[in-house]
Amino acid sequence: MDTKILVIDDSESMRNLISETLSKEGYAVDVASDGISAIRKIKNNPYDLITLDVEMPGLRGIEVLRIIKKIDMRIYVIMVTSIATIQTAINAIRQGAYDYITKPFDTDDMILSIKRALEQRRLFIENQQLMKHLQQMNEELEKKVLDRTRKLEESKRQLQVYATQLEKKHDELGVAYEELKELDRMKSEFITVASHELRTPLVAIQGYNSIMLKEKLGPLTERQQKGLLVSEANIARLSNIVKDILDIARIDEKKLSLKFKAVDIKNIIEQVIHEMTPLVDERNQEIYSLIKEFHPSAYIDENRIIQVLTNLIMNAIRFTPDNGKISLDAKLAGDSGPDKNFIKVSVIDTGIGIPEEYYGKIFDRFFEIQSSEYHSSGTTEFRSSGSGLGLSIVKGIIEEHGGRVEVVSNLSTGGVGSTFSFTVPVYSNG
């Protein structure tokens, strides 16, 4: 847009001189001969700069200046004055005029003054726009800060609510934990008492059952003898369950009494194989040792490790089909790392196997993947799935020895069978 300048002067010659000079410089120039007509033009046209005569009839220049500044502060005004009215021009500058030129004036000086005024006007407008933009940004920032503060306050209130709820839950959990500990103590106490109370009548029943079977109380018919044999088998089974429950209670209470000594692991494996052979024969299964010779002695409680081996072999018998094979092996667990100075004993079967997702659960109490009745010979003993505590007891006993228990099945590679392994410490003379 072209720069528009209004020349206000009551002298026609002066108006023409200033107008022609500015037009040659490329400015769009308009003129007014008095203050009243000039004000009308200013109200209806946008001017960038005005040259204003100080002394005019009617409205004097200083009065016109005041009105101009009320109409538009962005219009820059240069006062045109004679030598006699310089003080008036200076007063006008104090009231908002940009500069003044004296009559007669040098055209170059006038043009220079006008260019400076227009440049100052441009900077003034840019500054106004920048200030407006900064003000908008500041308002937006204040709005965002207020909004963020409101959200933070809301989040703080929510956190306080959550903290209160969490504290309440923590207290409730603390109470529940104490109640659970008390219930666990009562459970362990009940199991111990109940197991002991069961063992006493069981011993008596077992004793009288044995006496009757030996016909010390009189002769028996064939049916009576069969009934007592069934009773004896179930008494033995119930006795084993009670024994398992007592063992679990002792393991829980860290009261499992162990008598450590140096033991030839090869000998006790062969002993357990010999004891389990009659049960294996009932299933037409085969059980044998893979150990050729084994020199290091194990530092163990012999009776408890025999219990571990018996439980693992019973488990293998239950879940290995008729005509299957069960083998036992023992070797040093490793030359370094956590297995150093440990013996690894394995019970290997050709049974139904265990899916890999159950490896971590198989030693939990009462956990069974599937009832053994689907993999048995049909006899009463092997159709039962036991108490569900055998493997849990195995884990507890081995961990009390400082060892670990693991299971690996061949199902993942398309084979059959499982290998249950446990580690026990090597005996050291030092």
pLDDT in tens, 195-207: 666 666 766 776 7
Query: For 119-131, what is the mean pLDDT?
Result: 90
All residues at 6 or more sequence positions from 28 whose CB lies less than 8 Å from its CB, including other chains: 2, 3, 4, 5
Q: Does 308 have pLDDT greater than 60?
A: yes
**Co-location of 311 and 173 in the same domain:** no
**Co-location of 48 and 69 in the same domain:** yes
What is the model's pLDDT at position 208? 63
What is the model's pLDDT at position 232? 77
Q: Does 38 have pLDDT greater than 60?
A: yes
**Closest by CA position to 243, among listed 380, 386, 405:** 386
Segment of 66-80, 230-244, 323-337 carrying the highest mean pLDDT: 66-80
What is the model's pLDDT at position 317? 93
**Co-location of 195 and 46 in the same domain:** no
Could you list the residue range(s) of the whole structural domain that residue 155 is in?
A: 133-255
Query: For 365-393, what is the mean pLDDT?
Result: 57
**Co-location of 67 and 187 in the same domain:** no
162 part of a folded domain? yes
- Choose the weakest-confidence range: 25-29, 65-69, 72-76, 188-192: 188-192
CA dihedral 140, 145, 148, 154 (to 10 degrees): -130
Band (87; pLDDT cuts 50, 70, 90): confident
122 part of a folded domain? no
234 part of a folded domain? yes
pLDDT, greater one: 132 or 195 = 132
**Co-location of 268 and 245 in the same domain:** no
**Co-location of 45 and 142 in the same domain:** no
Q: Does 412 have pLDDT greater than 80?
A: no
Q: What percent of the chain has pLDDT over 70?
A: 84
**Co-location of 152 and 245 in the same domain:** yes
**Co-location of 269 and 396 in the same domain:** yes
110 part of a folded domain? no
What is the model's pLDDT at position 328? 95
**Co-location of 269 and 247 in the same domain:** no
**Co-location of 45 and 14 in the same domain:** yes
pTM above 0.75, yes or no: no
Q: Determine the Cα–Cα distance for residues 17 and 376; give it in Å rounded to an integer.
A: 127
128 part of a folded domain? no
419 part of a folded domain? yes
CATH of the domain at 399: 3.30.565.10
192 part of a folded domain? yes
- Choose the weakest-confidence range: 73-77, 146-150, 250-254: 250-254
Q: Which of 255, 277, 295 is the last residue of a domain?
A: 255
**Co-location of 230 and 274 in the same domain:** no
Q: Does 281 have pLDDT greater than 50?
A: yes
pLDDT averaged over every residue in the chain:
84
Q: Determine the Cα–Cα distance for residues 391 and 247; give it in Å rounded to an integer.
A: 12
Band (35; pLDDT cuts 50, 70, 90): very high
What is the model's pLDDT at position 211? 84
What is the model's pLDDT at position 374? 42
Model pLDDT for residues 159-217, shown as the tens digit of each residue: 888 888 888 888 888 888 888 878 767 766 666 666 666 666 766 776 767 788 777 77
CATH of the domain at 19: 3.40.50.2300
**Co-location of 268 and 223 in the same domain:** no
Q: Which of 240, 255, 270 is the last residue of a domain?
A: 255
Query: For 321-337, what is the mean pLDDT?
Result: 88
Q: Does 353 have pLDDT greater than 90?
A: no
430 part of a folded domain? no
**Number of folded domains that form the chain:** 3
Q: Does 383 have pLDDT greater than 70?
A: no
Q: Which of 86, 105, 124 is the last residue of a domain?
A: 105
Query: For 80-101, what is the mean pLDDT?
Result: 82
